[in-house]
Structure formats: C-alpha cells, structure tokens
C-alpha cells in the first residue's frame, strides 16, 4: 500500500547554494544533511507538511546524480512514495511488468529502505519506493 508522497528528489549542481536558496524559499532550515557513500551523493532534507524535499548533488564523476545533471541539468530527479511493505510492493510491481532498478531493497538516505522503478516503465518518471527502517 502506498501511504504518502514521501519526498521529491531535486538534482542540483551546487548543494550549498541550493540549500541556501531552499532555506529562503521555504523560510526554514533543513532538518538533515547526509552523505550516502554507496550512491555517491550528498543530500539535504527539508520538511514540507507531511512530505519532504530532498536536494541531491553528486560527489563522484560516475554517480547517478552527476550523470543525470550532465545529461538533463537541474530539476526534479525522482518522486518518492512511502510504502507499508517495500518487499511486497516490489514483488507486485515486478509481476505487473515494471522494471525495478534493484532486486533487493537497499539502504537509502534518511533511514529508509529504498527501491527505484525505471523511468521507462513509469511514464518517464524515476519512482522511488521507500519504507522507514524501524
């Protein structure tokens, strides 16, 4: 079951500048900054009601975010949904013909298990499923 639009992931070139911009835009400080070494990204999170904004900058030349930025530039990189049971959701989506980018849930930023659905099977949108690690 999908329970929330958890966050929007925004790819940015300059994390410090984008953090300052969103701090002004949202008129609040981020609640978290986190480096995700496995993905080669630095992240910054803002709360917006029941959802969040995740700013993402690549830290290595071959990280997915660095490659995305060089191809498409800054903008909305992914849409993340909270799900009640990530494994059950992955099985269901696979059965229904969606292409998953990871076979097993992996540890993402902000204390989540995550799985990505390929944009080619989701109308051009990279979809992230996430479930809070308890």
The footprint of Co ion (CB under 5 A) covers: 9, 54, 80, 128
Min CB(109)–Co ion separation in Å: 6
Coil, helix or strand at residue 80: strand
Distance CA 32, CA 36 (A): 12
CA angle 48, 132, 14 (to 5 degrees): 50
CB of 54 to Co ion, least distance (A): 5
- Cβ 16 to Co ion, closest distance in Å? 19
Q: For residues 82 and 97, which CB has a smaller minimum distance to Co ion in the complex?
A: 82
* Burial of residue 131 (number of CB atoms within 10 Å: 0-12, 13-18, 19+): buried
CB closer to Co ion out of 81 and 98: 81
Q: 125 Cβ partners below 8 Å, 6+ apart?
A: 78, 79, 119
In DSSP terms, 56 is beta-bridged to 11, 43
CB of 35 vs Co ion, minimal distance in Å: 14
- If the CB atoms of residues 37 and 95 are measured against Co ion, the closer one turns out to be 37
Name the residue nearer to Co ion (CB basis): 93 or 108: 108
Interatomic CA distance for residues 62 and 111, integer angstroms: 24
């Amino acid at each position: 079951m999908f329970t929330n639009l958890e966050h929007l992931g925004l790819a940015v070139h300059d994390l410090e500048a984008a953090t300052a911009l969103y701090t002004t835009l949202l008129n609040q400080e981020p609640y978290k900054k986190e480096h995700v070494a496995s993905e080669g990204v630095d992240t910054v999170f803002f709360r917006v009601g029941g959802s969040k904004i995740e700013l993402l900058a690549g830290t290595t030349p071959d990280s997915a975010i660095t490659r995305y930025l060089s191809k498409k530039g800054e903008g909305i990189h992914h849409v993340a949904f909270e799900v009640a049971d990530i494994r059950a959701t992955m099985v269901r989506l696979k059965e229904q013909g969606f292409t998953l980018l990871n076979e097993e849930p992996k540890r993402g930023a902000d204390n989540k298990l995550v799985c990505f659905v390929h944009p080619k099977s989701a109308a051009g949108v990279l979809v992230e499923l996430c479930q809070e690690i308890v």
